[in-house]
Amino acid sequence: MKLPLIKVENVKKVFSGNSVLDNISFEIVSGEIFGLIGASGSGKTTLLNTLVGVLQPDSGDVFFRDDNIVEANDNSRFRSVFENLNDVKKKFGFAAQVPSFYSKLTVFENLDYFGSLYNLSKEARLTNINTLLDLVELDNARNILAGNLSGGMQRRLDIACALIHDPMILILDEPTSDLDPVLAKHIWLLLQKINKRGTTIIVASHHFADIEEICSRIGIISNGKMVHVGTLHELTGILSKGQEIHIETYPGNYEKIMKCLEDPLILAKENRGNEFVIHTSKPDKVLEKVLKVLSQMDENLMDVNITKLSLSDVFSKVSKKK
């Protein structure tokens, strides 16, 4: 099994008597994009801050793998984030929910400044800046004041700032929270590009569709608890009753149609007024049967749609379960 890059073990954090992180444990594997979803106030940001050592947990610990340590025992290669903050800061890049840079400095100056705070040499800074500007497509904006950049550009600059020291892990908190879908798409594509360069990414977001698209694994956090961690497939498998077939007919006598549809492959049926939905793990076979029934009942098929259970659905289900 691949050795994890980060191990979060039983992390607890309480603010003013409220448990913000409640015994959270999970692992991050090198090279993956790990998505963290949860409702607002569920503890995502607190968890991310804890990962980078900005927040010290009340109990539990966060470990990172130090590849410079060569030990027979794998566990010995992990070091506590909170005991090695300086090393952690060099290995982690963090892009907070609000872009964090100086709006009165140019793109280049911001990157150069933060690069210098990481003790990078001038040459290293220049190399990294050029690479990053190219990566985040801000090369043409290098001499523009950061405050004058568009929302998407600012977000890209923020990510570039987080990457200036070429960290092993990039942590992003709601990277597309205030962006329109087009710009958000750019950011997600950028993250994929960054990931392809070998950077492990941990991203918290409300944009479930994007998370489900780019993340290899997803953690669902709810009320400070990590309720599920796994791939999308694993999550949908655990939480859903298969796929959904959405059917719209005319004249639309859905109650009658649903009565006629009795099959062990059909897990559930729903009359939603303007359509009816069938839950099944074998949509092809069920759809054949549905079409037969419709033809017998003189119902004209207006629209049919087979959908997988989305991350949003999964999240809703998790919320409802609670």
Partner 1 sequence: MKIGKVIKKNIKLLLRSRVSTLVLIFGPLLVILLVGFSFSTSTFNLNMGVFSGSYSELSNSLMEKLKSDNYGVTKYDTENMCIESVKEGQTHACVIFPPDLKIENQRTNTIKFFVDQSKINLVYLVMSSLEGSVGEKSTEISKDLTGKLVASLLNTKTKIDSSLPLISDIKTEDGLIVTAADNSINSLDSLDLGTGSKVAPDTRVGKVKNELDKLLSDSSKLVDDGLDIIPELEDWVESNGTAYLNDLEDKLNEINSTLKTKHNTTAKELTLLSQEINESFNNIYKKLDNAKNVNAAVLSKLNTIKDTAETLKQKSETVEKNLQDISADVSTVKVTDIENIVSPITTEINPIVKEQTNLGFLFPSLIVMLIMFIGLLLPSTLIIMEKNSKAYFRVFTTPTKNRLFVTATYLTCMILIFFQVMIILLVSQFFFKINFMNSFFMLFVALIIIMSFFILLGMLIGYIINTEEMAMLASVSVGTLFLLTSGIIFPLESMPLSIVEKARFNPVVLGSEVFKKSLLFGADFNSIKTSFGYLLLFSLVLIILILSVRKADKFQFLLKKPTRMKIKKDFLISQFDFGERKAKSLAEFIVSIQNLNEDKFQALLKQSCYSDWLLLAYNNRYLAKKTEAVKSKQEIVKILVEELKKISVKK
- Answer for which of 41, 181, 255, 307 binds partner 1 (CB under 8 A) is 41
Residue type at 154 in one-letter notation: Q
Beta bridge partners of 38: 221
Please say which residue, 147 or 198, places its beta carbon nearer to partner 1.
147
Binding range to partner 1, per CB under 8 A, among 3-11, 33-41, 236-244, 255-263:
33-41
- Do 23 and 225 touch, CB atoms closer than 8 A? yes
Site string for partner 1, 218-237 (x = CB under 8 A): --------------------
Query: Is 12 in a helix, a strand, or coil?
Result: strand
Minimum CB distance to partner 1, residue 194 (Å): 17
Q: Is 150 exposed, middle or buried (0-12, 13-18, 19+ CB in 10 A)?
A: exposed
- Answer for which of 3, 14, 29, 105 binds partner 1 (CB under 8 A) is 105
Residue type at 199 in one-letter notation: T
Please say which residue, 102 or 137, places its beta carbon nearer to partner 1.
102
Please say which residue, 85 or 227, places its beta carbon nearer to partner 1.
85
Query: Is 177 in a helix, a strand, or coil?
Result: coil
- Do 37 and 220 touch, CB atoms closer than 8 A? yes
- Percent helix, strand and coil across the chain, each rounded to 5? 40, 30, 30
Q: Interface with partner 1 includes 208 (CB under 8 A)?
A: no
Binding range to partner 1, per CB under 8 A, among 69-77, 117-125, 134-142, 183-191:
117-125
- Do 31 and 195 touch, CB atoms closer than 8 A? yes
DSSP string, 115-139: HHHTT--HHHHHHHHHHHHHHTT-G
Minimum CB distance to partner 1, residue 258 (Å): 23
Please say which residue, 109 or 263, places its beta carbon nearer to partner 1.
109
Of 70, 71, 60, nearest to 6 by C-alpha is: 60
Residue 197 half-sphere exposure toward CB, CA atoms < 13 A: 17
Please say which residue, 95 or 232, places its beta carbon nearer to partner 1.
95
- Answer for which of 2, 196, 233, 320 binds partner 1 (CB under 8 A) is 320
Interface positions, 270-289, toward partner 1 (CB under 8 A): none
Angle between helices 151-163 and 181-196 (to 10 degrees): 20
Please say which residue, 7 or 155, places its beta carbon nearer to partner 1.
155
Radius of gyration in angstroms for the set of CA atoms belonging to the chain, rounded to a whole number: 24
Interface positions, 73-102, toward partner 1 (CB under 8 A): 85-86, 89-90, 92-94, 96-102
Site string for partner 1, 47-66 (x = CB under 8 A): --x--x-xx-----------
Interface positions, 157-186, toward partner 1 (CB under 8 A): 161-162, 177-178
Q: Which residues contact 131 (CB under 8 A, 6 or more apart)?
A: none
What is the binding site for partner 1 (CB under 8 A)?
15, 39-41, 45, 49, 52, 54-55, 85-86, 89-90, 92-94, 96-105, 109-110, 112-114, 116-119, 145, 161-162, 177-178, 316, 319-320, 322
